[in-house]
């Protein structure tokens, strides 16, 4: 069920074509799979292995190295509340308690409707703006409990869907590489000349 959809398969093939070695495309493809279902399913990993010519075990080994890849269903919005020093001093714990109460789940849990997953996070590098949080890795700074309530209201009402896409979507604008800058699926050992984009002839 959660192999790549036909639409995403077209994108996957375009991504694979960018790399001299197929398996180099694995991480972008894992993001694509996560974008499709919000998390990376077993079937998706099997499918990606088939696409780039590695075993499922190798896909699994690569994917589990990275914290941002999830292997179990996750809420549409992943709310990461920072709990490291600056944020802790500025009220992150209270914020977390409030969030737990408001959403009715403990940190680490997912709401029953599948909308929110609440999680502790380590420093998100916004210490001057403490306490901070991220929703699907989009920052919210100097967050008060009132701000949090409003954020959740807005997310539930769909008011922020433009700004914050569902979990797994990295960007709304998909990267596109002009044909003359594509390296192509040619092994570097077989390439004698510098790539087109290095010799200054390609349109930049």
Partner 1 sequence: MTIVDPTAENIVADPNVVNITINDKPVLARKGELIIAAADRTDDFIPRFCYHPRMSSVGMCRQCLVEVETPRGPMMVVSCMTPVAEGQIVRTATETVKKAQEGVLELLLANHPLDCPVCDKGGECPLQDQAFSHGPGESRFVEEKRHYEKPIAISEIVYLDRERCILCDRCTRFADEVAGDPLISFTSRGNDTQVMTFPEEPFSSYFSGNTVQICPVGALTAKPYRFKARPWDIEQTESTCTSCSVGCRVVVQSSRDELVRFQGVDIDPVNWGWLCDRGRYNFESVNSTERLIAPLIKTDSGLATTSWSVALESAARIIRTALNSGTDSVAILGGARGTNEDAFAWASLVDQLGITQRDSQLGDGLTPEIFNLAQATIDETCAASTIILLSPDLKEELPVLYLRVRDAAQKRKSRILEFSPRDSGLTPYAWRSVSFEPGRQAQVVRETLGSQEMQEQIRRGEVVVVLGRSNLAENEAFTLHALGEILHAIPNAKILPVLRRGNVRGAVAVGLTPQKNSGDAIDILTKAAAGKIECLILLGADPLADVADSDLVARAFNRTRSVISIDTFINSSNRNADVVLPAAAFTEKAGTTTNLEGRISNVTQQITPRGTSRPDWMIATELGLSLGIDLGVSSLDELHQKMTSSIAAFSSCANNPVINSDGVLMENEASATISRASVVLVDRNSYSYRLIVSRTMYDNAQSTTTSPSLVGIITKSAIYVNPLDLARIGVVEGTNIRVGIDDKSIVLPVNAHSGVHRGTAWLPYNHTSVDIRPLLDITSDVVDVRIEQLR
Interface residues toward partner 1, by CB under 8 A: 42, 45-46, 54-62, 64-67
Write the CA distances from 25 to 20, 28, 162, integer angstroms.
9, 6, 28
Q: How far is the CB of 38 from partner 1 (least distance, A)?
A: 19
Asked if omega into 132 is within 30° of 0 (cis), the reply is no
3-state secondary structure of 30: helix
Q: How far is the CB of 40 from partner 1 (least distance, A)?
A: 12
Q: How far is the CB of 70 from partner 1 (least distance, A)?
A: 13
Residue 50 or 149 having the CB closest to partner 1:
50
Residue 46 or 182 having the CB closest to partner 1:
46
Distance in angstroms (rounded) separating the CA atoms of residues 33 and 165: 15
Residue 57 or 177 having the CB closest to partner 1:
57
Residue 71 or 197 having the CB closest to partner 1:
71
Cβ atoms of residues 59 and 108 within 8 Å: no
Q: How far is the CB of 23 from partner 1 (least distance, A)?
A: 11
Only one residue has tokens 């789940």, namely 105
């Amino acid at each position: 069920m959660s192999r790549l959809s036909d639409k995403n398969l077209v994108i996957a093939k375009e991504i694979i074509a960018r790399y001299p070695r197929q398996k180099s495309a694995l991480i972008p493809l894992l993001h694509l799979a996560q974008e499709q279902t919000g998390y990376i399913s077993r079937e998706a990993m099997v499918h990606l292995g088939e696409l780039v010519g590695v075993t499922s075990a190798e896909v699994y080994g690569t994917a589990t190295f990275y914290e941002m890849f999830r292997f179990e269903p996750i809420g549409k919005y992943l709310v990461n509340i920072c709990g490291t020093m600056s944020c802790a001093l500025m009220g992150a714990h209270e914020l977390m308690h409030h969030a737990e109460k408001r959403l009715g789940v403990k940190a680490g849990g997912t709401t029953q409707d599948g909308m929110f997953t609440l999680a502790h996070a380590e420093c998100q590098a916004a210490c001057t703006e403490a306490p901070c949080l991220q929703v699907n890795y989009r920052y919210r700074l100097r967050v008060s409990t009132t701000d949090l309530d409003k954020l959740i209201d807005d997310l539930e009402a769909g008011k922020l869907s433009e700004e914050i896409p569902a979990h797994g979507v990295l960007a709304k604008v998909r990267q596109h590489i002009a044909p003359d800058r594509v390296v192509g699926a040619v092994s570097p050992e077989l390439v004698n000349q510098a790539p087109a984009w290095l010799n200054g002839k390609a349109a930049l």
